[in-house]
Chains A and B, each alone.
Chain A
Amino acid sequence: MSGMSDIEKEIISDFELFDSWEEKYHYIIELGQKLPKLDEKYKLEEYKIKGCQSSVWLNGEEKQGKLYFSADSDSTFVKGEIALLMMVLSGQTPESILESKLEFIDALGLRQHIAVTRANGLSAMIKQMKTYALAFASQAK
């Protein structure tokens, strides 16, 4: 737990308000519906992470040493997952993105429910975000 950022801890405490999977589902859907739109120019094959049940388009941009992500998915739930990841990773330095273990994901009590998206999409999404971070980190050097 010690390696977690304040934002991660905040998300965990938000989720502690929910008693059921149903409430968590509705919250994640809401986050997904609020996710800012991805510029159409990024909805291309080269930005696409193909999962078994959903696709994600992800772009990362560097501004003053920090990395900002924007993304979209055909699944609102996956968009909600993206929103959670972006709360933690977007606007951070490439180094801290690379170091982040994203331990909060396991603390949300969602493991069994997101297994299907996790196996196919979520881990690929995290990997892609870290790849962006790695690319920008090595560029900076």
Chain B
Amino acid sequence: MKNFNVHEIRKDFPILSEKAYGKPLVYFDNAASSQKPQVVIDALSNYYTHYNSNIHRGVHFLSQKASAAFDEVREKVKSFINASSEREIIFVRGTTEAINLVAATFGRKNIGKGDEIVISAMEHHSNIVPWQMLCEEKGAILKVIPMNDAGELMMDTLPALLTSKTKIVSVVHVSNSLGSINPIKEIIQQAHAKGIPVLVDGAQSSAHDVIDVQDLDADFFAFSSHKILGPTGIGCLYGKLHLLENMPPYQGGGEMIQSVSFEKTTYNEVPYKFEAGTPNIADVIAMGAAIDYWNSLDREAIAAWETELLTYATQVISKLPSVKIIGTAKNKASVISMVIDGVNALDTGMFLDTKGIAVRTGHHCTEPVMIRFGIVGTLRASFMFYNTKEEIDALAENLEKAISLLQEKQVA
């Protein structure tokens, strides 16, 4: 086992030594976006300093260097999620675009009037709206796997939801607002038994678990670089090769073509067919640096530390008066969503901000989840391996102060 020392690892992330209003920054908004290690920042800066150039088709030194660095990343992503071929990796802007791509290509081609799309009750808006748009266009029907009060999918309802009309299942691996880890492998097995492909929204899971798309047998897997220590504006869609090959192109433009004439255009092969235009070269390369960084870490030790952080935070936060944790699934990632009796989440979040503690408040782009629990929003603290128990103590202590300030005077 490699060594894992949180205080050592924090040194890799320069932003963690920043101050907020002169106070040490406590960053608990990791589910929204992770912080970046210096190697990722350097990769971005090196690219622009030393070899910025448009890639492919360039005959000159810079373009060749940039092309090689860019192309290498597809191989890195392939290993990161254990795809069987680097041709199965499509670079997109992020999870949102990945899902939209599948809806616009696979969906438009294969889903028609009266067909069904199955999602779950805990989807992010980005895994609801693209399918609703498709349903509207095609006259298809959206069906939802319900969840229980703990925030666990009610798996006993799944067999009846998967019918001969179901054309795709698109489910989140780990809920961003509840932290629930869904039994994705079982969902995939049940869907496959009926010949239905499954898209996995891996925006949260890719930041915590080792992803093996072959072991999951996922047909599509979507994730964003910025949640896995990489830069914003880039992400990946994994798709099984035979599915990708049968999908129409996404956007038209350069790079995605083989030949163009006014009479007929033929398309480039997968994955380039889906990557029209100059790609996000710098961010792809820096995402590669993020993956290299993950590979330098002991993933098991990290997962153990995150579990310890979650357990510790759950303990101390549960003890606070008037606090109720929303999302108590048995299998949970390091996310704590909470509501406080008689205290507004936004007011609490702003109070914590004055103390240099970054959390997120609101519906977290999962309004149906809030409706399910009869609340308008939560205060969410989400942890990454570089967080410490001391930071959790600071959160708990200041939550208590916020409660006494905001609750007490309201009564008076």
Check if A98 is an interface residue, CB within 8 A of chain B.
Answer: no
A22-B409 in contact (CB<8A): no
B346-A22 in contact (CB<8A): no
Return 25 A-B CB contacts under 8 Å, by A number.
Answer: A20-B354, A21-B353, A22-B21, A22-B355, A25-B350, A26-B405, A29-B347, A29-B405, A33-B410, A52-B362, A52-B363, A53-B345, A53-B346, A53-B362, A53-B377, A54-B344, A54-B346, A55-B376, A74-B344, A74-B376, A75-B346, A75-B347, A77-B344, A77-B347, A117-B346
A22-B21, A74-B344 are known; give 11 further A-B pairs, CB within 8 A: A22-B355, A29-B406, A52-B362, A53-B345, A53-B377, A54-B346, A75-B346, A76-B344, A76-B406, A77-B350, A117-B346
Q: Mark A1-44, 1 if CB is under 8 A from B, else 0.
A: 00000000000000000001110011001100100000000000
B354-A22 in contact (CB<8A): yes
CB distance from A32 to the nearest CB of B (A): 8
User: Which of A20, A30, A33, A77 sits near B346, CB closer than 8 Å?
Assistant: A77
Check if A63 is an interface residue, CB within 8 A of chain B.
Answer: no
- A residues 87-139 near B (Cβ < 8 Å) are 113, 116-117
Check if A78 is an interface residue, CB within 8 A of chain B.
Answer: yes
User: Which residues of the other chain, B, contact A117 by a CB distance below 8 angstroms?
Assistant: 346
Q: Which residue of B lies closest to A75 (CB)?
A: B344
Q: Which residue of A lies closest to B407 (CB)?
A: A76
User: Which residues of the other chain, B, contact A52 by a CB distance below 8 angstroms?
Assistant: 362-363
CB distance from B289 to the nearest CB of A (A): 30
- B residues 103-147 near A (Cβ < 8 Å) are none
For chain A, give the interface size range.
20 to 34
Q: Which residue of A lies closest to B405 (CB)?
A: A29
User: Which of B22, B355, B362, B410 sits near A76, CB closer than 8 Å?
Assistant: B410
Q: Number of B residues contacting the other chain (C-beta, 8 Å)?
A: 21
User: Which residues of the other chain, A, contact B406 by a CB distance below 8 angstroms?
Assistant: 29, 76
Q: Which residue of B lies closest to A73 (CB)?
A: B344
- CA distance in complex: A20, B19 (Å): 14
- CA distance in complex: A75, B377 (Å): 12
- CA distance in complex: A30, B405 (Å): 10
Q: Mark B355-367, 1 if CB is under 8 A from A, else 0.
A: 1000001110000
- CA distance in complex: A54, B354 (Å): 19
Q: Mark B85-117, 1 if CB is under 8 A from A, else 0.
A: 000000000000000000000000000000000
CB distance from B31 to the nearest CB of A (A): 17
CB distance from A21 to the nearest CB of B (A): 6
- CA distance in complex: A52, B376 (Å): 9
Q: Mark A58-100, 1 if CB is under 8 A from B, else 0.
A: 0000000000000000111110000000000000000000000
CB distance from B405 to the nearest CB of A (A): 7
User: Which residues of the other chain, A, contact B354 by a CB distance below 8 angstroms?
Assistant: 20-22, 25
- CA distance in complex: A117, B361 (Å): 12
User: Which residues of the other chain, B, contact A74 by a CB distance below 8 angstroms?
Assistant: 344, 376
Q: Which residue of A lies closest to B408 (CB)?
A: A33
Q: Mark B331-371, 1 if CB is under 8 A from A, else 0.
A: 00000000000001111001101110000011100000000
User: Which residues of the other chain, A, contact B412 by a CB distance below 8 angstroms?
Assistant: 33
CB distance from B201 to the nearest CB of A (A): 22
User: Which of A25, A33, A55, A78 sits near B351, CB closer than 8 Å?
Assistant: A25
- CA distance in complex: A29, B403 (Å): 13
User: Which residues of the other chain, B, contact A77 by a CB distance below 8 angstroms?
Assistant: 344, 346-347, 350
- CA distance in complex: A72, B355 (Å): 27
A76-B21 in contact (CB<8A): no
Q: Which residue of B lies closest to A55 (CB)?
A: B376
- CA distance in complex: A52, B355 (Å): 24
Shortest Cβ-Cβ A-B pairs, 3 listed: A22-B354, A75-B344, A33-B409
CB distance from A14 to the nearest CB of B (A): 18
B346-A78 in contact (CB<8A): yes
Given A33-B410, A76-B406, verify A116-B346 contact (CB < 8 Å): yes
CB distance from A27 to the nearest CB of B (A): 12
- CA distance in complex: A33, B347 (Å): 12
User: Which of A22, A53, A78, A113 sits near B361, CB closer than 8 Å?
Assistant: A53
- CA distance in complex: A51, B376 (Å): 11
Q: Which residue of A lies closest to B343 (CB)?
A: A76
- CA distance in complex: A76, B363 (Å): 18
User: Which residues of the other chain, A, contact B353 by a CB distance below 8 angstroms?
Assistant: 21, 113
Q: Which residue of B lies closest to A74 (CB)?
A: B344
- CA distance in complex: A141, B362 (Å): 43
- CA distance in complex: A101, B377 (Å): 32
